[in-house]
Copies of this chain bind each other. A is one copy, B any other.
Amino acid sequence: MQLPQGFRFAGVRCGIKAKADRKDLTLVVGDRDLVAAGVYTQNKIVAAPVVLSRSRTPSSAVRAVVINSGNANACTGQQGDRDALAMTNLVAKACELDPSSVLVMSTGIIGHKLPMDRIEQGIQSAADQLNDSSDNFLAAADGILTTDQGRKLAFRCEQIGDQKITFAAMAKGAGMIGPNMATMLGLVLCDANLSKIDAQRALRVAADASFNSISVDGHTSTNDTVNLLCSGTASATPLSEEHLARFTEVLTDFCIELAKQIPADGEGAHHVIEIRVGGADCDADAKQIAKSIADSPLVKTAVTGNDPNWGRIMSAAGYAGVLVRPELCQLKINGSMVFDKGQPIDFDEKAISESMAADRTVVLQVTVGDGPGTSVFWTSDLTTDYVTFNSDYST
């Protein structure tokens, strides 16, 4: 595990979560000022930490991010705003930083006030433990999880221009996942040297093709946040225009690697569904069609049952609200054609069903016309385990 230079990490348990063995507070601190970019939920009901962090990015003077899990600090009124601010102030005090240089994220149940006494202890304890070891990085990745079955991590090294850039990232998310700018918590760290505006632009592009192209249940949460933090230690000079394009490509691909881990760990999921839409009038139309298919409970349950019930897929494409040319429509399931030029065709239902059962990923390739628009989207199927789990979450 290679980590970018310029960061220290800690993940501790302070007692927000009920289960005694779960970490619930994470702290990441830069050795010097970090360039920071952010994408945040488009939900109109916004959690207090999102409001605060949004006001502090993009920035070229961020020093730390504090994240608690187990409580979303959402729908908590003015007390919630005060608590989010207090979290950043506590980090500033414990680490001797400018209070406005600290970002904050929260995730967990909505509508409960934060246990600030525990959080205060947790922040102090995390500050005491900060270091740049792999163990601490993993502890930090643990501290942000909620219903996730395991850590979501990605690592990469890439030479771009004169910069050998090292990326490391952590994410959380398994339910309440619906794409709208950002759809979970994610923290992407690297040592690239670039401006805050360039970092923000690159993150927007990357998020659109990754975190905004996944769903579990189509429910955009109040707390979605992805922050990109760049320590700049890879080079003394910023990336050139030409190399920024390459940086954005690499960041996008890296974010896709991280984002795909979320539907793969979708609550109760048996399958990941990869939806490839082509032939739309533009990419945005293709994405709307892909999202419509991804959000259909009938498509999801058909995949759960390894059932090539393709009519549900074409029907969901049809109600996405954008242009679809039925006479040009085509659908392949795991590579096998089941519908072509608007006509049903003979196919081996049993063979396709077996191929669905054999693989955790099911690929749906939908052509909706002859336009240039394409999109790739990932979601999970819908199982009785999802329903059972979410029928009994807070009570």
Contact = CB atoms under 8 A, between A and B. Distances in A.
Nearest to A340: B77
Contacts of A343: 76-79
A305 B218 contact: no
B391 A387 contact: no
Given A110-B315, A349-B395, A344 B301 contact: no
Contacts of A394: 302, 307, 309
A111 interface: yes
A344 B316 CA distance: 37
Category for how many chain A residues contact B: 35 or more
A159 interface: no
Given A75-B344, A219-B298, A392 B305 contact: yes
A394 B76 CA distance: 46
Contact of A342 (B77, B217, B316, B318): B77
Which of A72, A217, A383: most chain B CB closer than 10 A? A217
B43 A307 contact: no
Given A307-B394, A344-B76, A394-B309, A178 B45 contact: no
B75 A342 contact: yes
Interface stretch (A8-16, A88-96, A137-145, A323-331): A323-331
A4 interface: no
Interface in A306-321: 306-312, 314-320
Contacts of A308: 395
B75 A302 contact: no
Interface string A42-86: 111110000000000000000000000000101111110000000
A375 B216 CA distance: 28
Nearest to A389: B301
A386 B300 CA distance: 12
A291 to B, nearest CB: 12
Interface in A277-303: 295-298, 301-302
A323 B392 CA distance: 31
A222 B318 contact: yes
Interface string A101-142: 000000001111100000000000000000000000000000
Interface of A: 41-46, 72, 74-79, 109-113, 175-176, 178, 180, 217-222, 295-298, 301-302, 304-312, 314-320, 322-324, 326, 329, 339, 341-344, 349, 353, 382-384, 386-388, 390-395
6 contacts: A44-B324, A45-B317, A46-B326, A111-B314, A218-B297, A304-B387
Given A45-B314, A297-B386, A305-B390, 16 more contacts: A42-B319, A44-B317, A44-B324, A45-B317, A74-B315, A75-B326, A75-B339, A110-B312, A218-B296, A219-B298, A219-B316, A297-B382, A302-B390, A309-B393, A383-B391, A387-B387
- Enumerate the 3 nearest inter-chain pairs by beta-carbon distance, A residue then B residue, closest first: A110-B311, A45-B318, A305-B391
